[in-house]
Amino acid sequence: MGLWDYEGMRVVVSGGGGSGMGAACVAELANLGAEIHVLDLKEPPVEVASYQSANLLDPDATADAIANVPGTIHALFNCAGLPGPPFSDLAARRRGRTSTGCAPASFTQRGPPERPRAGPGDPGPARGCV
């Protein structure tokens, strides 16, 4: 397994539909062989293993979508940006104030992502925000 190889790995991309950073992330992960599960109101730009239509501003909807992803999640790509229509500017501002970092609470409550180590010196799963 190479450093950028996602072959056989199950990944979740929040905000991976429509366009922008999330959609670009989904397209690149597809090129790298990942099993991709997208959570967003907009459909992803490429074929994925599953697409959960979810309002990521709603913690319950996000938790339900996460619960529908089967098995071990090896990586999380949290790419949800500020929403546009049909959400108001007020909803976008509220999201900015109430966000708990990059990952919805549902991700962190499920536990950390798991990924096999590539070899000696590999620190294991990486976490970050896009």
pLDDT in tens, 16-67: 888 888 999 999 999 999 999 999 988 999 999 999 999 888 888 888 998 9
Q: What is the pLDDT of residues 59-104, one digit of tens each?
A: 888 889 989 999 999 999 988 876 566 656 555 555 544 443 344 5
Length of the chain: 130
pLDDT of 105 strictly over 90:
no
Quote the CATH superfamily of domain 10-110: NAD(P)-binding Rossmann-like Domain (3.40.50.720)
Any idea of the CA torsion for 88, 90, 94, 96, to the nearest 10 degrees? 80
| Tokens 């962190």 sit on residue | 108
| Cα 3 to Cα 6, 115, 124, 125, distances in angstroms | 9, 12, 11, 11
Query: For residue 29, what pLDDT is reported?
Result: 95
| Helix boundaries (H) for the chain | 21-31, 59-67, 89-98, 105-110
Q: Of the candidates 58, 43, 70, 52, which has an alpha carbon nearest to the alpha carbon of residue 98?
A: 58
- pTM summary value: 0.70
Mean pLDDT of 109-118: 50
Question: Where exactly are the structural domains of the chain?
Answer: 10-110
Distance separating alpha carbons of residues 1 and 98, to the nearest angstrom? 38
